[in-house]
Structure 1
Amino acid sequence: MTATHARRGRPGHDQRAVLIAAVEAFDEHGYDATTMGMIAQRLSLSKSALYHHVEGKEQLLAIALETAFTALDECLRTTEESAENLDVRFEVFIREMVAVLLEYQPFVRLMLRLRDNSPVEQQALARRRDFDTRMAALVRDAQVAGLLRDDLDAAVVARLIFGAMNSTVEWFRPQGRLSPEELTEAVLTVVCRGVLTTAYPPEKNTAGLDS
């Protein structure tokens, strides 16, 4: 998805500031309910002044989604092209993905809440499906290598892993009880150790039950 080039802005505001205000508004009110007037109000601008920065709401959505996808794609592409052993690559991928999700929290939330109401949203949903396919391929490689259980469908495992990581953008708060580092370790523990190749459920220890 290629975003249309924005118009040159007025002094005191740049496209980044406009984008952040738009994403905050989309996050709070939903994309469909957000108006350019709401975005302008956040920036203390008139609607006409806002149009000196961007062509409209759909362009802001396209730029915001491109920002999220570029960061996520770079994380997965680096893993795909890495020469490290698969176990190392898999752990690094989880760590870097959590970092991306936290850095681009409102952008990713916007991406995850998409519908298919416009061409921009439809293109973004197609990119999400492509990302899911590549995630499934990574999981499948890990299964073949014996790193992950191979009795589960790779696409299902990929969706569960990515879904667990994605959920953090909805509830994690930077100033909350957990630090970003603690959250990353928790995700690693649940995701990686939760799909180990050991048998499940473990055998019950019945020793002493008859005494």
Structure 2
Amino acid sequence: MLLVGSVARRDVYTAQSLLEVAVGVFNERGYDGTSMEHLSRAAGISKSSIYHHVPSKEELLRRAVAHALDGLFAVLDEPAAGEGRAVARLERVVRRTAEVLMERLPYVTLLLRVRGNTDTERWALVRRREFDQRVAELVRAAVAEGDLRPEVDPRLATRLLFGMINSIVEWYRPHPGEPVVSGDVVEAVISTAFDGLRQPAVSGSAP
């Protein structure tokens, strides 16, 4: 009876559902503080059943941070991120980045907490820097086109933008029944960021 029950329990687990459990445990305990035993208990399946889906704990980490990174880089590949004035593209990227963060909140939270202690973590940090650099290029272009304040340092502006966006992982928890992505949060990010970054409009001369 127990064997049959165990097999049935394992069969309902998929690689995706196991990944969701692992991400929750990694975020709660930290990746380094999580053992396969912790994952086994959280999932309610044996360690051998976990190995049926993935070869190692680090593979679960790789899949998790890759899911977060894929969502972020997909933002840069959207048509609206590559057309028009740089400031409009930048605003689009910031908006969609905030949306992706909320849509993939546990995964992005984990991504933001990696420290470079494993090959997977170092790979994730390199990819994060690449994403930041591409956004900084948009900031530089928007300054050059005269739409952002000329005194804005692109690297600093990028850090400030993502400092604000990334802080969402520390407090954003949608209530049951609420949409995963909060339009109020997104609009607050956009207005707070761009009201300070935009070059003030030049008023016409009085007659």
**Could you state the TM-score of these two structures normalised by the residue count of structure 1?**
0.84
What percent of counterpart residues are identical? 38
Assess, with a 3 A threshold, how the Cα gap between structure 1 residues 32 and 46 changes in structure 2: closer, same or farther.
Answer: same
Secondary structure at 1:31 match in 2: coil
Contact 2:65 2:110 in 1 (8 A): yes
Cα distance in 2 for residues equivalent to 1:113 and 1:94: 20
Cα distance in 2 for residues equivalent to 1:67 and 1:106: 10
Secondary structure at 1:11 match in 2: helix
Contact 1:79 1:93 in 2 (8 A): no
Match of 1:194 in 2: 196
Cα distance in 1 for residues equivalent to 2:138 and 2:79: 9
Cα distance in 1 for residues equivalent to 2:22 and 2:67: 13
Contact 1:101 1:108 in 2 (8 A): yes
Structure 1 residue 80 displacement after superposition: 7.8
Letter in 2 for 1:61: L
Contact 1:79 1:90 in 2 (8 A): no
Contact 1:68 1:107 in 2 (8 A): yes
Q: Which runs of 5+ in 2 are unaligned?
A: 1-9, 202-207
Match of 1:168 in 2: 168
Structure 1 residue 18 displacement after superposition: 0.7
Letter in 2 for 1:136: A
Match of 1:31 in 2: 31
Across the aligned residues of Structure 1 and Structure 2, the Cα RMSD in angstroms comes to 2.3
Structure 1 residue 117 displacement after superposition: 0.9
Bigger mean CA offset, 132-141 vs 24-33:
132-141
Match of 2:183 in 1: 181
Contact 2:68 2:107 in 1 (8 A): yes
Structure 1 residue 79 displacement after superposition: 6.1
Letter in 1 for 2:184: E
Match of 2:138 in 1: 138
Higher helix share: 2
Assess, with a 3 A threshold, how the Cα gap between structure 1 residues 146 and 79 changes in structure 2: closer, same or farther.
Answer: farther
Cα distance in 2 for residues equivalent to 1:145 and 1:174: 38
Cα distance in 2 for residues equivalent to 1:81 and 1:166: 20
Secondary structure at 2:53 match in 1: coil
Letter in 2 for 1:172: Y
Letter in 2 for 1:36: M
- Whether 1:69 aligns to 2:108 is no
Contact 1:79 1:89 in 2 (8 A): no
Query: Residues 80-159 of structure 1 correspond to what in structure 2 (within 5 A)?
Result: 82-159=82-159
Letter in 1 for 2:27: D
Letter in 2 for 1:74: A
Match of 2:5 in 1: none
Letter in 2 for 1:180: S
Match of 2:47 in 1: 47
Match of 1:15 in 2: 15
Structure 1 residue 83 displacement after superposition: 2.0
Aligned residues: 191
Bigger mean CA offset, 66-75 vs 34-43:
34-43
Letter in 1 for 2:64: A
Contact 2:81 2:93 in 1 (8 A): no
Q: Which runs of 5+ in 1 are unaligned?
A: 1-9, 200-211
